[in-house]
Amino acid sequence: TAGLKTKKIGKKAYYFDSIDSTQNQALKMSEESVNDGTIIIAAKQTGGKGRLGRKWISPKGGIWFSIILQPKFDISITTLFPIASSLALSYAIEKTFKISPELKWPNDLTIKGKKVAGMLVDVSLESNKIESLVLGVGINFDVDTKQIEKTLKGTSNFYGVASLNEQKMKVKPKVLIQTFLVELEKIYELLNSKQTKNIIAEWTKRSSTIGKKVELNTVEGKIKGDAIKIDDDGALIVSEKNKISKIIAGDIIHLSK
């Protein structure tokens, strides 16, 4: 935490050389009394979790952490939170690595179409209010992409793995994490004060999804159409012929111009 320029996020930090999943650890801790913005970081995870029950391969060399937050914002914008967080990570990568990752709905960061980072959000509610929220962030910082691709080939939502060290920039993991935490705190404050317009506009600018033809797997089955925009609450709006669908959760299985 030395040199960290945030007010809350990351001020309290726990570090593990190896853990099953920082997300599990954070979820456990969030049930007790913890500071808003507590971060749990691990050098490696033995049971890393991805979205929709998938595995997340987390060898040494990557950046794996979870943050416990007690937000003031309304439950109606929880879907926007992971989108806003991926924008914050995108800003941080732009500042440190001088490259601009593409954002793939809902919360993947890609470089040349390959996944470089992902986010996982667990929300715990109490009488329809957000009690706490755990944001899990996985960044392929310096990992063997070939090795991970071998393990993941054929699994759902696999479309290639990128690693930031391929950029040949001498960035320290700590610098990237701290830059992200500063950007996240700014965005978190915007969400808490309901200023979402700019977040959606900036996300859309970097998006590889909006304006494309998409095919998605959703809870209601497969949906195909044109990705029109992100709604105020973070949902993806897809139109096919005269039918407009609003998608809250799902995976893009195909993207084309």
Interface residues with ligand BTN (CB under 6 A) are 21-23, 45, 48-51, 54, 56, 58, 64-66, 108, 118-120, 136-138
Question: 186: Cβ–Cβ under 8 A, 6 or more apart, which residues?
Answer: 88
Closest to 103 in 3D by CA, of 95, 116, 92: 116
Other CB atoms within 10 Å distance of the CB of residue 115: 22
Token digits for 230? 């992100």
Q: Which residue is nearest to ligand BTN (CB)?
A: 118
Q: Shortest Cβ distance from residue 73 to ligand BTN (Å)?
A: 21
Q: Shortest Cβ distance from residue 131 to ligand BTN (Å)?
A: 20
Q: How many angstroms separate the Cα of 24 from the Cα of each of 16, 28, 131, 232, 244?
A: 13, 6, 17, 30, 37
**Closest CB to ligand BTN among 161 and 235?**
161
**Closest CB to ligand BTN among 13 and 228?**
13
Distance separating alpha carbons of residues 246 and 120, to the nearest angstrom: 20
**Closest CB to ligand BTN among 48 and 71?**
48
**Closest CB to ligand BTN among 22 and 196?**
22
Q: Shortest Cβ distance from residue 143 to ligand BTN (Å)?
A: 12
Q: Shortest Cβ distance from residue 3 to ligand BTN (Å)?
A: 22
**Closest CB to ligand BTN among 37 and 50?**
50
Closest to 239 in 3D by CA, of 251, 159, 76, 231: 231
Strand order in the sheet with 13-19: 13-19, 38-45, 63-69, 129-139, 114-126, 108-111, 102-104
Q: Shortest Cβ distance from residue 56 to ligand BTN (Å)?
A: 4
